[in-house]
Chain A
Amino acid sequence: MAAPVETDVIIVGAGPIGLFAVFELGLLDLKAHLVDILDRPGGQCTELYPEKPIYDIPGLPIVTGQELSDRLMEQIKPFGAQFHLSQMASALEKLPDGRWKLSTDADTEIVAPVVVIAAGGGSFVPKRPPIAGIEAYEGSSVHYAVRKMEMFRGKNILIAGGGDSALDWTINLAPIVKSLTLVHHRDGFRAAQHSVNRMRELVEEGKVKFDVASVKALHGADGKLEAVTLAGTDKREWRHECDALLPFFGLTIKLGPIADFGLNLHENLIPVDTAKFESTTPGVFAIGDINAYAGKLKLILCGFHEAALMSQAAFHICRPNEKLRFQYTTSSSNLQKKLGVA
Chain B
Amino acid sequence: MKIVATDRKGAEHVIEGRDGWTVMEILRDAGLPISAECGGACACATCHVYVEGGWYEKLMPPSEAEIDMLDMALAVEPNSRLSCQITCAPELDGIAVTIAPE
Q: Do A48 and B71 contact each other (CB < 8 Å), given the known contacts A130-B101, A253-B37?
A: no
Minimum CB–CB distance for B67 against chain A, Å: 7
Q: Are B71 and A189 in contact (CB under 8 A)?
A: yes
Q: Are A130 and B102 in contact (CB under 8 A)?
A: yes
Q: Are A249 and B73 in contact (CB under 8 A)?
A: yes
- Give B22-46 interface residues, CB cut-off 8 Å to A: 35, 37-38, 41, 43-46
Q: Does residue B12 face the partner (Cβ distance < 8 Å to A)?
A: no
Q: Does residue A49 face the partner (Cβ distance < 8 Å to B)?
A: yes
How many residues on chain B are close to A (CB under 8 Å)?
A: 22
In the assembly, what is the distance between CA of A294 and CA of B28, in Å?
Answer: 19
Residue interface bits B64-99, CB-to-A below 8 A is 1, else 0: 000111111111111000000000000000000000
Q: Which residues does A use to contact B, with CB under 8 Å?
A: 44, 48-49, 52, 121, 127-130, 161-163, 184-186, 188-190, 214, 233, 249-250, 252-253
In the assembly, what is the distance between CA of A250 and CA of B37, in Å?
Answer: 13
Chain B residues with CB below 8 A from A233, complex form: 78
Which single member of B45, B75, B102 contacts A250 (CB below 8 Å)? B45
In the assembly, what is the distance between CA of A157 and CA of B41, in Å?
Answer: 34
In the assembly, what is the distance between CA of A143 and CA of B85, in Å?
Answer: 31
Q: Are B78 and A48 in contact (CB under 8 A)?
A: no
Minimum CB–CB distance for A301 against chain B, Å: 14
The interface residues of chain B, by DSSP majority, are classed as loop
Question: Which of B37, B38, B101 has the largest count of A CB atoms less than 10 A from its CB?
Answer: B37
Q: Are A49 and B74 in contact (CB under 8 A)?
A: no
Minimum CB–CB distance for A127 against chain B, Å: 6
8 A-B pairs besides A127-B72, A128-B74 with CB distance below 8 A are: A48-B37, A129-B75, A185-B76, A185-B77, A186-B71, A190-B68, A233-B78, A252-B44
In the assembly, what is the distance between CA of A44 and CA of B74, in Å?
Answer: 20
In the assembly, what is the distance between CA of A184 and CA of B67, in Å?
Answer: 13
Chain B residues with CB below 8 A from A190, complex form: 68-69, 71-72
Chain A residues with CB below 8 A from B102, complex form: 130
In the assembly, what is the distance between CA of A54 and CA of B75, in Å?
Answer: 30
Chain A to chain B: the 4 pairs with minimum beta-carbon distance, closest first: A130-B101, A250-B72, A190-B68, A162-B71
**Which residue of chain A is the closest to B75 with respect to CB atoms?**
A130
Q: Are B38 and A44 in contact (CB under 8 A)?
A: yes
In the assembly, what is the distance between CA of A181 and CA of B82, in Å?
Answer: 28
Q: Are B71 and A163 in contact (CB under 8 A)?
A: yes
Chain A residues with CB below 8 A from B35, complex form: 121, 252-253
In the assembly, what is the distance between CA of A188 and CA of B67, in Å?
Answer: 9
In the assembly, what is the distance between CA of A245 and CA of B73, in Å?
Answer: 17
**Which residue of chain B is the closest to A163 with respect to CB atoms?**
B71
Minimum CB–CB distance for A281 against chain B, Å: 26
Minimum CB–CB distance for A253 against chain B, Å: 5
Minimum CB–CB distance for A341 against chain B, Å: 34
Which single member of B43, B67, B72 contacts A163 (CB below 8 Å)? B72
Q: Do A184 and B71 contact each other (CB < 8 Å), given the known contacts A48-B38, A130-B101, A252-B37?
A: yes
Minimum CB–CB distance for B16 against chain A, Å: 23
Minimum CB–CB distance for A46 against chain B, Å: 11
Q: Are B72 and A249 in contact (CB under 8 A)?
A: yes
Minimum CB–CB distance for A212 against chain B, Å: 11
Chain A residues with CB below 8 A from B37, complex form: 44, 48, 121, 252-253
**Which residue of chain A is the closest to B77 with respect to CB atoms?**
A185
